[in-house]
Amino acid sequence: MIRSWDEIDGDLKLSCDVVIVGSGAGGAPAAALLAEAGWKVIVLEEGGYHPTESFTPNAEGANRRLYRDAGAGILLGDPPIRLLSGRTLGGSTALGYGTAVRPRPGKLAEWRERYGLTELTDAHLEPFFGQAEKDLGVSRADRRRISPADRLIQTGAKKAGWTVEPLQRAAVGCRGCGVCAMGCPTGAQQLTLVSYLPRALKAGAEIYCDAQVRKIKFRKGKAVGVSGAVLKRYARKTVRRFEVSAPWVIVSAGALGSPSLLQRSLGSESRPAPATLGANLRIHPTATLLALFDKPILGWEGIPQGLALAPTGRTDLWAAGGSLHPAQAALIAPGFGHDHKAVMARFASMAQFTVMVEDRSEGEVRALNEFDVEGRYRLGHEDADALKYGLKSLAEAFFEAGAVETIPGAIGAVTGIAKDRANALESIVRLSSGSLLLSGLHPMGTCAMGASAETSAVDVHGKVWGREAVYASDASIFPSALGVPPMLTVTALALRLANHLINQSEGGRP
Amino acid sequence: MKSRSHSPLQLLPTRRGFLAALGAWLAQLPLAAAAAPNLEFLEHHPARGRYFLTDSEEATLRRFCRIVLPSGGAFALGWEEAGMIERLDRYWYGWSPLHQKAVHWSLWGLRWGVPLTILRLSRFEGLDARSATDYLTRLSKAPVGLRYGIYRILLLSNWFCFYNAPEAIAQVGYAPSCGEPKSFLDPIIESSLPTDSQERP
């Protein structure tokens, strides 16, 4: 049963075995597993329910329906960074390209050694990653359908010293429309909307959309449910109120929403909230390069992310293609008015590629009110230099592949032409950090797992330190930047949490 | 969209277009000024709580809008309400460099207009003078958000040329299809695809 705001005709008082706040990669897998184990599950999603057939490649519609703050969220800092996250049934899984990769080798070892997460070994997590990959139909991107940008850059990337790997994707029967980030219109991409949530529903879970959880309720330090408001779609108008009683609460509202909800809920408690809640924000700062060719390549066709590239010897950079709607590319294309139009007129000859850094820089988030989260992020020199290096290397690779011009995403960036390649590449290195037009694609780390309440917000299972029966399950629990798109890791950890709860309870029942 | 050159004669339709937009916008001013300011759009505006930092600053922004919206600020902050999106769609690319510069500098002028408006707020809106001064100080010391906000508005002007603007989208050829992708690659590139042995297991 899925109910939206206009189908709820009175205030709600509900009870269940577990209430899950959020329906993305951290919430939906747990909902499916727990419901299938016989638990009564309620999923509360702040965003609306938008079925597959409603997805169209229209920037206006997609922004409004799927993105928090209509895709205009900003992290304050120098440079300010555009932050993208989902606010729809399916969460941020609805926004990505379906890339489903495991953490790079060495990442789990780092988490064990630096953060005391000794349980997180490859062997321990293997069954959960395996299960997630099976559930989501993860397979190598169909090479016949990879995008023109991917095909073009791989020839240049190898010459420029990058390693090129085919990407694993959570997509079944993908036709390569290239419009994934506006919601997959064919149902191929395994958003939770078409994967775990139908399973949860089939097993009896109830899903409420447009339902904003405002507080987790505690009794003597133990979570006993949540309360909140049903909002009119696309508005901040409360139309109904709800209370859900449950002996278990899972918070999967993302790296902005989860710490904010916990801050609001724990702030009124006599026991102190974990000191690190909301700190340690990582985002994988991402820069974009546009490469122009002398003939149309129809860059929007095909699977936008079919290959992953990394400069040889560097593990902190990860580059992959993208398929931007013209309105998004227009934000990066230089100039205004006529100058801008001259660049955009060559859109069909344009390849778009992104490079992201496994960030060492940090930020923090803070709840302003029920709706708004203030985020700040301080891009450090090391990460800024890495991004500039990445942009320069991408430009080099595209020139090798025959690009006639490259445009780094930066305010006041100089367009580099192939004839003056050396200067073009050098100009990228000279960009000031503050001029980079960056996006934060993967907010994480704000309810970090760790070995103690002094250094982290949650334990190795995601349980909030100092409280009982309340767990975080999303990218917010990563203790450091993952370095690759986090969807598969979040899913695997959510499956692990569900198993943990089932194992903790008598006979697998709550 | 029709491209325009910059000779004086050919500037005329551009200027006429610009003036038409300006006139339409000005025409609604008496209404805007007479009616109680409708700030509800701010509740849903993506900028809410983003370009400005705290609750109190947001409150200040709302007051700022109440005063400035019927004047030049409408362009920057009230464009949804003032219908400027459609006008941008129609005119931005048609504007001459002179017009663009004028808009550019008007927006940059807001950088200075905002603090001055805050001072006005302290007189006309009853804002605590100390808060207004603090705000002014913070703006002048840390103009990053504002600087970016204004620059972002300029960037968004480009964005809105394509945002829900079918003509512009069609003009750049963007036409995703969920049918079979066309074959557009030359065989040399095709042959360089990774082999199975290069792929991760």
pLDDT at A366: 86
Contacts of B86 in chain A (CB under 8 A): none
CB A365 within 8 A of CB A375: yes
Is the confidence at residue B113, as pLDDT, over 60? no
Report the percent of chain B where pLDDT is more than 90: 0
Asked if the interface predicted TM-score (ipTM) of this complex is over 0.90, the answer is no
Mean pLDDT score of chain B, rounded to an integer? 44
Asked if B5 has any chain A CB less than 8 Å from its own CB, the reply is: no
B23 vs A392: which has the higher pLDDT: A392
Contact A57 B176 (CB under 8 A): yes
pLDDT at A72: 63
Asked if B47 has any chain A CB less than 8 Å from its own CB, the reply is: yes
> What is the 3-class SS of A255-277, one letter each residue?
HHHHHHHHHHHHHCCCCCCCCCC
Reported confidence tier of residue B93, pLDDT bands at 50, 70, 90: low
User: CA B26, CA B20: separation in Å to the nearest integer?
Assistant: 10
Give mean pLDDT, residues B144-160. Answer: 50
Q: Which of A124, A442, A461, A500 is catalytic?
A: A442
Angle, alpha carbons A8-A14-A17 (nearest 5°): 135
Contacts of B108 in chain A (CB under 8 A): none
User: CA A74, CA A365: separation in Å to the nearest integer?
Assistant: 11
Tens of pLDDT along A403-415? Answer: 999 999 887 666 7
B109 vs B34: which has the higher pLDDT: B109
Nearest in space to A110 (alpha carbons), one of A480, A489, A491: A480
DSSP H helices, A162-253, are 196-202
- The shortest CB-CB distance from B53 to any of A58, A76, A234 is to A76
Name the B residues in 24-43 with CB < 8 Å from any A CB.
43
DSSP letter string, A420-441 = GHHHHHHHHHTS-GGGB--EE-
| SS3 at position A94 | helix
pLDDT at B35: 32
A133 vs B168: which has the higher pLDDT: A133
pLDDT at A274: 86
Place of tokens 């546009």: A290
Is the confidence at residue B73, as pLDDT, over 80? no
Contact A57 B173 (CB under 8 A): no
Contact B145 A76 (CB under 8 A): yes
Contact A326 B164 (CB under 8 A): no
Closest-CA distance of chain A to residue B82, Å: 18
Query: pTM here?
Result: 0.80
A301: left (phi over 0), alpha (psi -120 to 50) or beta: beta
C-alpha separations of A359 from A284, A355, A418, A443 in Å: 6, 12, 31, 11
User: CA B111, CA B43: separation in Å to the nearest integer?
Assistant: 23
The DSSP output letter for B197 is G
pLDDT at B155: 54
Question: Each residue's pLDDT tens digit in chain A (510 positions)?
Answer: 899 999 999 999 999 999 999 999 999 999 999 999 999 999 999 999 999 888 888 777 787 789 887 676 777 777 778 888 899 999 999 998 999 999 999 999 999 999 999 999 999 999 999 999 999 999 999 888 899 999 999 888 888 788 898 999 999 988 888 899 899 988 899 999 999 999 999 999 999 999 999 999 999 999 999 999 999 987 778 999 999 999 999 999 999 999 999 999 987 666 778 889 999 999 999 999 999 999 999 988 899 999 999 888 888 999 999 888 888 888 788 766 666 777 888 999 999 999 999 999 999 998 877 877 878 888 999 999 999 999 999 999 999 999 999 999 887 666 778 778 888 899 999 888 877 888 999 999 999 999 999 999 999 999 999 999 999 999 999 999 999 999 999 999 999 999 999 998 876 677
CB A363 within 8 A of CB A284: no
A312 vs B31: which has the higher pLDDT: A312
| SS3 at position A481 | coil
Nearest in space to B52 (alpha carbons), one of B129, B147, B124: B147
Place of tokens 């000191």: A275
Place of tokens 């194992």: A503
C-alpha separations of A145 from A174, A266, A302, B175 in Å: 9, 49, 5, 17
Is the confidence at residue B54, as pLDDT, over 50? no
Residue type at A18 in one-letter notation: V
Contact B184 A297 (CB under 8 A): yes
| SS3 at position B124 | helix
Assigned token pair, B79: 């464009």
User: CA A61, CA A210: separation in Å to the nearest integer?
Assistant: 17
The helix or strand, by DSSP H or E, that contains position A351, with its residue range, turns out to be: strand A350-357
Asked if A77 has any chain B CB less than 8 Å from its own CB, the reply is: yes
| SS3 at position A363 | strand
CB A92 within 8 A of CB A24: yes
User: CA A397, CA A280: separation in Å to the nearest integer?
Assistant: 34
Residue B166 preceded by cis peptide, ω within 30:
no
Using CA coordinates, name the residue in chain B closest to A336: B158
Closest-CA distance of chain B to residue A69, Å: 5
Contact A333 B148 (CB under 8 A): no
CB A83 within 8 A of CB A443: yes
Contact B50 A72 (CB under 8 A): yes
Asked if B105 has any chain A CB less than 8 Å from its own CB, the reply is: no
Please indicate whether residue A325 is annotated as part of the active site.
no
Is the confidence at residue B111, as pLDDT, over 90? no
Asked if A159 has any chain B CB less than 8 Å from its own CB, the reply is: no
Nearest in space to A258 (alpha carbons), one of A64, A459, A35, A475: A475
pLDDT at A337: 60
